[in-house]
Amino acid sequence: DTAVSQTPKYLVTQMGNDKSIKCEQNLGHDTMYWYKQDSKKFLKIMFSYNNKELIINETVPNRFSPKSPDKAHLNLHINSLELGDSAVYFCASSQEAIPHEQYFGPGTRLTVT
């Protein structure tokens, strides 16, 4: 059973388009996250949700809008895609607000051309 799943795994699109990435966890966790990993493998937190409420928004452009329809899902919608949005996006979840362990999804590689 996959603990944290993301779809799609690969996403290639043109500048200016709007796209969504979906994330689901079946671990019963309360907290979910989105991270962006650049080409140098640097990981940056984007958003954190706890019980469907936005807790952390790390100065991410408002073209990025997370949505959590329920505790098990945290989707990421991106408007007006730019070249600099090309990266690997990871979803993660944890049980606690101060996480003793985060479980990561397999990542979505977004390429904007």
Partner 1 sequence: GNSVTQMEGPVTLSEEAFLTINCTYTATGYPSLFWYVQYPGEGLQLLLKATKADDKGSNKGFEATYRKETTSFHLEKGSVQVSDSAVYFCASSGTYKYIFGTGTRLKVLA
Closer to partner 1 by CB, 27 or 97: give it.
Answer: 97
> Greatest CA span in the chain, whole angstroms?
39
In the complex, what is the shortest distance from the CB of residue 46 to partner 1, in angstroms, rounded to a whole number? 10
In the complex, what is the shortest distance from the CB of residue 2 to partner 1, in angstroms, rounded to a whole number? 11
Q: Is 4 in the site for partner 1 (CB under 8 A)?
A: yes
Closer to partner 1 by CB, 28 or 40: give it.
Answer: 40
Q: Is 34 in the site for partner 1 (CB under 8 A)?
A: no
